[in-house]
Each structure stands twice: as structure tokens, then as C-alpha cells.
Structure 1
Amino acid sequence: MKRIYAAAVMSIAAVSAAHAQSAGQLVINAGWSHFSPQGSSDPLTVNALGQSAVMAGSGATISSGDTFGLTASYYVTDHISADTEMGVPPTWHLNGSGTLAGAGELGTARAWSPAILVNYHFGEPNARLRPYLGAGVTYTWFSNVKLSNAVSGGQILASPAVGTALEGPTSVSLSQSFAPVVNAGLTYNIDSHWSIGASIAYSWLTTKATLTTQSSVGTVTSTTKLKVNPIVTFLSVGYRF
């Protein structure tokens, strides 16, 4: 009987260890990521004929979006993991607000924002349910930037004071930037390899948009700062190696 009891205890211990998230393990998570901007924008500043003027009341907002997310987590210790977060870059839809609300969608861009984080996982390595907290940094750049007709033709620069003199073919550039990230999450270990997870992250992300218009009176540059500050939620399935 003692031998049977000892064997049972050893079997339970082996099963528990199989569920462990411990030092040296690699976990890959894939799933659905939701991007929800919380920020705003500064009014558009127009530079023309050697003078600068703020377009009072102008603004822009970025729509929420969904995309495929992917993370790779390496456990440095039983409680600390180094994570790389990436995925299919979501498309940002920039919409006019305030005095630019009538222009509707101003443009779109794909936002690339991979992140590196360090997470601390609470509980024992063999626990089925493990919450975690972490922090890190993301780097954001853009591709496939497209302007709407109202912006690409410079029509948003028309005003009673100057008429259509500042209109013309317009291009745009969006600045690249680093931003800090904080996150929190929860992992449920199903068996020795599979798990499901949920996390939420916040980033203090800003970018500067510069419009360059070739008008009949010369080159016009218009700038604004977009405070994106997104909340990103991630629901995923993980596989542990």
C-alpha cells in the first residue's frame, strides 16, 4: 500500500511539473488583438509665405481596429520572462474632427509596432492559473500611407482669408518613435503544452504628421502631433516548447 501511495504521489508531481512555466522554456502565443486609441491631436499648424498660423479647432482621431497578434516568451527564470510582441500591422484610419470633421476620413496607414517587454509571473511554476505584470518599449513606423482626396489635393487648407491659394498636390510623412509600454495578463495552462491567455497593454505613443503641399504660392508645410496612447487587448492560444 505504501508503494502504491508513493507511486501516486510521484505521478501527481510529474503531472504538475509538466504544466510548469519554468526557466528555459519558450512559449508562442497567437490570437486576436484589438487596438483602441485613447488620445487626441494638436490643431494643424500651417506654414506658408514665411508665416505660421494655427488652424483653430482642427483635429483628428484614429479609429479602433483588429488584427492578428503573435508573441514569443522566453522564461529567464521561473517567474521572469522576456517577451517579443508582433503581428500583422493594423491599418490606422485617421478621421477629421472639429473644423475638419466635414472632411471625413483624412487618410490611412499601416502601423508597425513590435514591442519588447519583461514580465513577472506570479504563483508557482506548476500553477494552472498565473497572472503577470510587465513593462517594456515599442518602436513604431508606418507604411502604405494614403491620403484622402480632400487632403491629397490640399482642399483642407482653403479658407475665407486665402481662398484656394494654398491648395495643391500634397504628400505626408509620419515620424517614427519609441514609446514605453505597460501590460498585465493572465495565463491558464491546459496541459503540458497548450494554454490560453488574455492581456491588456497601454502605450504612451505619439507621432508627428507633416503635410507638404505644392501650391501656387510656393511650398506649404502643415504639421500636427497625434497622441495615440492605445489600449491593446490580446486573446490568444499558446504552445509551450
Structure 2
Amino acid sequence: MKLKQAVTGIAVLASMTTAAHAQSAGSFFVSTGWFHLAPQSSSQPLRVTSIGGSPTDITEANTGASLGSADTIGVTAGYFVTDHIAAEFVIGYPPTFDLNGTGSLEQFGKLGQAKQWSPTLLFKYYFNAPTATFRPYLGIGVSRIWFTDEKITNGAFQSNVLHGPTSVTTDSSWEPVFNAGFTYAFNQHWFAGVSVSYLPLSTTAKLNTQAQTPVGTLNVQSQTKIKLNPIVTYVNIGYRF
């Protein structure tokens, strides 16, 4: 009987030790899941900064744009520095955002689109014990933001407002990220998680137009500052090593 109790005790201790290291210092984890990006967007009016090479400062009143929401798949990889602090790298397949007209431009609907890249480094503080099934956390980090494949897709907007073929470029920037969420452990390896992040993000879209005018084709440069401020939700499943 004593031998049986001893063996049972050793087995329980071993399982507790294994579980204790599931979310503790020195452990790695990966996850994959679905991102939903919901911009809280607004923009400044379109401002013409140059006509035919001559600087101008002409504001097109009652013009603006907003961004639609987007979804994409993402992956993360992280490391527990301590039992409660983890560093995590986050990246997703670049989602495509639609740019929609507002104000006098609302009649045109979708004006253009662009893909957003935003690899992110987060530092998270996990509450509860490393062996806990449910572990909420708070995080803060930084994201590098840039856009690709920016283009005007609305022919009527391009012809009637911009008056010619137009190319678009956008600024890149470093932005802070504020994050909160939780994980739920199914066992010592597998877990599911939900998180919400906020990025105070803005970018300046610069338009370069070959405008058709009564005196011929003139290069017209214009720009607008767009606030995205996306709220990003992430539902995922992960594995701890």
C-alpha cells in the first residue's frame, strides 16, 4: 500500500511539474487565427499642394474619405521571459482596405484601395499563476506600418474630380500598440485565446495626377491625412512548447 501511494504521489508531482512549466519562464508558444480590423477612420479635406510645379495651398472643401473594415489570417510567436512577462511577435497576411468617399465624394462610393503591413512586437503581462487555466493579460508594443498596392479604382472620381490618371503613395511610420486579452489552456500544450488591440494610426496619402486642363496636361499634386485608429480583434488557437 505504501509503495502504491508513493508511486501515485510521484506521478502527481511529475504531472504538476510538467504543467507548471507550460506557461512559465523559458517556454515558447505559437498561435494562428483570424484578425478583424475595424478602422475608426476620418480624414482631412483634400489639399492641392502643387500645380504644374508651382506650390499651391488649395483646400477642396467638404471632401473626405473613410476606410472599410478588413479581415485576415495571422500568426504569432512568443517567449515567456518570466512566469508573467512574455515577448510576442505578431504578423498577418496584409489585408486590403477599401477607401470610400465622404462629404461631396460620398456619391462616388469606393475611391481606391491599399494593402496594409503591420508586423508588431508586443510585451505582455500575464495575471494568475503559470499553471492557471485562465490567464488574462495586458500588453503594450510597437508596430511598423506601411502600405502597398495603393491605387485609385474609381474611374468617375479620377476623371471628374482629379481630372486625370493618378498614382498614390502613403507614408510609413512606427506606431504604439495597446493590447488586452486572455488565454484558456485545454492542457499543458494547447490553448485558445482572444485579444483586442488599438493602434492610434494615421497616414498621409499623396496623389500625383496628370491632369487634363484647357492649357494641356499639368502635373497636379495633392494630399490628405487619414486617421485609421483601428481596433483589432484576434481569435486564435495556439501551442506551447
The percentage of counterpart residues that share the same residue type is: 46
Give the equivalent residue in structure 1 for 2:186. 190
> What amino acid maps onto 2:75 in structure 1?
L
DSSP-derived class of the 2:136 partner: strand
CA contact (8 A) 2:36 2:234 kept: yes
CA contact (8 A) 1:173 1:210 kept: yes
1:1-241 correspondence runs (5 A): 4-5=4-5, 7-19=7-19, 20-49=22-51, 50-150=55-155, 153-157=158-162, 167-215=163-211, 216=216, 218-241=218-241
DSSP-derived class of the 2:42 partner: coil
Q: How large is the Cα RMSD of the aligned pairs?
A: 1.8
Compute the displacement of 1:16 (Å). 3.4
Q: 1:62 to 1:16 in 2, by over 3 A?
A: farther
Aligned mates of 1:6, 1:151 — CA distance in 2: 81
**Gaps spanning 5+ residues in structure 2: where?**
none
**Gaps spanning 5+ residues in structure 1: where?**
158-166
Compute the displacement of 1:88 (Å). 0.8
Report Cα offsets for 1:57-83 as digits up to 9, x if no partner.
111111111110111111111111111
Compute the displacement of 1:122 (Å). 0.7
Q: 1:131 to 1:168 in 2, by over 3 A?
A: same
CA contact (8 A) 2:138 2:181 kept: yes
Aligned mates of 1:34, 1:176 — CA distance in 2: 21
Compute the displacement of 1:217 (Å). 5.5
> What amino acid maps onto 2:229 in structure 1?
N
Aligned mates of 1:131, 1:83 — CA distance in 2: 15
DSSP-derived class of the 2:155 partner: helix
